[in-house]
Homo-oligomer: A and B are copies of this chain.
């Protein structure tokens, strides 16, 4: 435990963490908040990602293994009063544990397996401005995974997704379905948003995430690497059951309210809809994404 309990919500340390609830400061400070034992556990598995930990006395007891792990890694652990934790937390019922983390996203080329094509080196240093995190061990681990077997086989692209809960749930589903990476295009929500981090249930730390890629550039690079690019949209000509999903596939998911814009639909290799057998108008974005990603995962394993 570094020092005594933090009780002043106006202390510089608390204010420095608190400002990370705003996107502009996350981008400026290149840090974000990961709240709750699950997120903290996953963050601690990546070398060099967790920079500081805040814990209430109660959480220290309840999650002593995480406190021990952080201490062993030399990460400063600050005991925080309930009031300080409430100030930092973005949940109604704070779980008493919160990490300040360095950004974990990687450049698009690295997520797709390196600049020299499928199977090429996936080292740090590609374009995209995440150099400061590109050389963490954990990110390399997941980057290697995507390179295994000759390039990515399943990628989720979030284009114009604005709801952080939906975006985080898609990350979690993509991780579960064995996707190689998740790409947030330039018009999507910030994956470091607190709600998104929570909804991802640790998956933000599990697979390479790309931020701010222009949709056109992402689609072009995905195609260059041999992935079939499918736009998931209720207006699709084909349904999920009509298309061959056995090959490497990238799915583009759009905004729940208004789907995907024309230019993206035009750039995709095909526009595919989840069939609606009942009276529902549509599916929730995250559930539709899960159905699409699992259809791909199954088709790739059966074939």
Listed in ascending order, the chain A residues whose CB lies under 8 Å from chain B are: 38, 169, 172-179, 199, 201-203, 206-207, 241, 274-284, 286-291, 294-295, 297-298, 301-302
B residues less than 8 Å from A298 (CB atoms): 241
B residues less than 8 Å from A201 (CB atoms): 280-282, 284
B residues less than 8 Å from A280 (CB atoms): 172-173, 175-176, 201-203, 206
B residues less than 8 Å from A176 (CB atoms): 274, 276-278, 280, 282-283
B residues less than 8 Å from A274 (CB atoms): 176, 294
Q: A172-B283, A287-B290 are in contact. Are A177 and B278 (CB under 8 A)?
A: yes
Complex: how many Å from CA A252 to CA B289?
22
B residues less than 8 Å from A178 (CB atoms): 277-278
B residues less than 8 Å from A282 (CB atoms): 176, 201
Closest residue to A283 on the B side, CB-wise?
Answer: B176
Complex: how many Å from CA A9 to CA B294?
48
Of A275, A284, A289, most buried by chain B (CB within 10 Å of CB) is A284
B residues less than 8 Å from A277 (CB atoms): 176-178, 297
Complex: how many Å from CA A297 to CA B287?
15
Of A169, A177, A241, A278, most buried by chain B (CB within 10 Å of CB) is A278
Complex: how many Å from CA A284 to CA B302?
24
Q: Do A279 and B173 touch (CB < 8 A)?
A: no
Q: Do B283 and A286 touch (CB < 8 A)?
A: no
Give 9 nearest A-B pairs by CB, closest first.
A178-B277, A287-B290, A176-B280, A206-B279, A175-B280, A175-B278, A178-B278, A291-B294, A176-B276
Q: Do A279 and B203 touch (CB < 8 A)?
A: yes
B residues less than 8 Å from A275 (CB atoms): 297
Q: How far is the CB of A49 from chain B (nearest CB, A)?
A: 15
B residues less than 8 Å from A279 (CB atoms): 175, 202-203, 206-207
Q: A176-B276, A287-B287 are in contact. Are A202 and B294 (CB under 8 A)?
A: no
B residues less than 8 Å from A286 (CB atoms): 284, 286-287
B residues less than 8 Å from A207 (CB atoms): 278-279
Of A274, A277, A295, A301, most buried by chain B (CB within 10 Å of CB) is A277
B residues less than 8 Å from A173 (CB atoms): 280, 283-284, 287
Q: A202-B281, A278-B207, A281-B201 are in contact. Are A301 and B175 (CB under 8 A)?
A: no
B residues less than 8 Å from A199 (CB atoms): 284
Q: Do A169 and B287 touch (CB < 8 A)?
A: yes
14 contacts between A and B (CB under 8 A): A172-B284, A175-B279, A176-B276, A176-B277, A176-B278, A202-B279, A202-B280, A203-B279, A241-B298, A277-B297, A284-B290, A286-B286, A287-B287, A294-B295
